[in-house]
């Protein structure tokens, strides 16, 4: 089952964020807290959305995404910031269900595309995304400026 996250899910969302950070060997970079997530996901201005995947009543994964915009297409899009499935439940269709739900949300909102980044060494994720029909962007370098 896939459902939208609610404010009561904030501790679970933080657990999943810590899970993906650990998997990506970036746990030392996590600054998210329950308070920050409550404000930014469920406050007066909602900066992102979260959907959750469950096996029966057991939470197994999440996807966090937000709207972006393509000037070339003059259309909104969706940026998938994180998609994570607990290692025990990988390979059982939960990641595919989460990605398909994000894609369906983008289609319902008349978005032109869904985009995301993948760490170069994350071959299982790269292969998964390719199997879903996604194509890597050649010739682009991601830049970041931390404020």
Active-site residue list: 129
Helical H runs in 32-139?
34-42, 94-108, 123-131
Copy the structure tokens of residue 74: 């003059």
Q: How far is 70 from 77, CA to CA, in rounded Å?
A: 7
> Does residue 114 contact residue 98 with C-beta atoms inside 8 Å?
no
> Does residue 79 contact residue 65 with C-beta atoms inside 8 Å?
yes
Q: How far is 130 from 36, CA to CA, in rounded Å?
A: 33
């Amino acid at each position: 089952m896939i459902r939208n996250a609610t404010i009561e899910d904030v501790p679970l969302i933080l657990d999943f964020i810590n899970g993906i950070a650990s998997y990506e060997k970036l746990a030392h970079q996590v600054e998210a807290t329950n308070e920050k997530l409550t404000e930014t996901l469920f406050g007066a201005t909602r900066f992102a959305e979260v959907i959750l995947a469950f096996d029966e009543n057991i939470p197994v994964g999440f996807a966090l995404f937000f709207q972006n915009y393509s000037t070339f297409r003059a259309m909104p899009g969706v940026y998938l910031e994180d998609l994570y499935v607990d290692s025990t439940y990988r390979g059982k269709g939960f990641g595919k269900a989460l990605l398909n739900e994000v894609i369906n949300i983008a289609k319902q909102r008349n978005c032109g595309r869904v985009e995301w980044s993948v760490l170069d060494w994350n071959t299982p994720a790269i292969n998964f995304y390719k199997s879903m029909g996604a194509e890597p962007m050649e010739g682009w370098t991601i830049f970041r400026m931390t404020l």
